[in-house]
Structure 1
């Protein structure tokens, strides 16, 4: 069974690419996989297997 979560990442005035990379890597370490990044917002949809 899969579970999903939607999170927003904080957009700053500088180093946005680095901040996004850190945000994504942090979730990847916890077993989350990105399945969608909304183009006009800062929302990212993640999924992972619940019984991992």
Structure 2
């Protein structure tokens, strides 16, 4: 993962919007599935309603 993306990935994990792909890893150069995108969007809405 590029150095510039590490802070954003840590923030997303702290907000519980993304978890990574097991073993505490993010694949910043990978592609997200529709299901993964929907999961992030639903988590964002849940955070907004807190």
> TM-score normalized by structure 2?
0.35
Higher relative contact order (CA 8 A, sep 6+): 1
> TM-score normalized by structure 1?
0.34
Higher percent of residues as helix: 2
Higher percent of residues as strand: 1
